[in-house]
Amino acid sequence: MRRTYSQIDMDERRRIARWRAAGLSVTVIAEKLGRHRSTIFRELSRNAFDDVQMPELSGYYCVTANEMARERRAKLRKLARFAHVRRSVIERIMHGWSPQQIAGRMRLERHPISVSYETIYKFAYSADGLAIKLWRHLPERRARRRPRHARRRYGRRFSPELNILHRPDAVDERKQFGHWECDLIQFRKKFGKANVTSLVERVSRFAVFLRNNDRQSKPIMDGLIQALQSLPHLARRSIT
């Protein structure tokens, strides 16, 4: 019978290290230990030693692997051991804070006991977190966390030259009329697709608000064009 969910212990890690050094495949090691092959793959990927200075020393070592696994579990146990930290994390999640915001605030305030956003996510999807349905308050509100390899990673969408920090001084210091700042206010999906575009002229602070009935970029851009096209050119020099 294969064991899939129980933790790998030190004795099994010794055998994994010995068999890997002997050239055995992951499938063979899994069969020998009575484990699922994905369990062995995860063990090797999570707890392998990586030496940047001397790559030839990189590999899977039982002692190092055991220490890495122990340290990872200790981080998660912070929320189990320290009730006040756990209560604070749960309260902030339920008030709409994301795990990244909670972890960032802990670092900023130099909390004596702090956790990473990854630890908070793991807690939210642990048995304790699922029991109180913390996932309902997370940004994506998924009942099951998306596997790490399937999470979306966006590259750089705009060139560095278009960064807001590089806008001309006349725009940045509000010296010239006709430069607008644009923002998009989106509501929760349960309120439908409606959202609001705000346009504020930087010198006069004159504001325009546009209701959008679609979340796609083209209808929003069409609304901006329609709102500004009647103005003279000097009144619509740029939009940030």
Same domain, 175 and 234: yes
Same domain, 90 and 146: yes
What's the total number of domains in the chain? Answer: 3
Longest dimension (CA), the chain: 78
168 occurs within a structural domain:
yes
> What pLDDT was estimated at residue 204?
92
> What pLDDT was estimated at residue 3?
47
Per residue in 80-136, pLDDT (tens digit) is 778 888 899 999 999 888 999 999 998 888 888 888 888 899 888 888 888 888 888
Identify the domain containing residue 123 by its residue range. Answer: 82-150
Using an 8 Å Cβ cutoff, are 49 and 69 in contact?
Answer: no
Same domain, 133 and 201: no
Same domain, 37 and 89: no
Same domain, 182 and 214: yes
Terminal Cα-to-Cα distance of the chain (whole angstroms) = 62
120 occurs within a structural domain:
yes
* pTM: predicted TM-score of the whole model, two decimal places: 0.40
Same domain, 146 and 167: no
Same domain, 165 and 228: yes
Q: And the tokens for 160?
A: 């560095």
What 3-state class would DSSP assign to 111? coil
194 occurs within a structural domain:
yes
3 occurs within a structural domain:
no
- CB neighbour class for 145 (10 Å; exposed up to 12, middle 13-18, buried from 19): middle
Same domain, 64 and 86: no
Amino acid at 156: R
4 occurs within a structural domain:
no
Q: E strands of the chain, at which residues?
A: 179-186, 195-201, 207-212, 238-239
Last residue of a domain, one of 91, 116, 150: 150
Same domain, 145 and 195: no
Same domain, 166 and 227: yes
Tokens 């099994």 locate to: 12
Last residue of a domain, one of 132, 150, 168: 150
Q: And the tokens for 11?
A: 């004795």
Per residue in 143-174, pLDDT (tens digit) is 777 665 555 555 566 677 777 778 888 888 88
Mean pLDDT of 28-43: 88
56 occurs within a structural domain:
yes
Name the region of 34 (left: φ>0; alpha: ψ -120 to 50; beta: rest): left
pLDDT(1) > 60: no
1 occurs within a structural domain:
no
> What pLDDT was estimated at residue 64?
85
208 occurs within a structural domain:
yes
Same domain, 185 and 232: yes
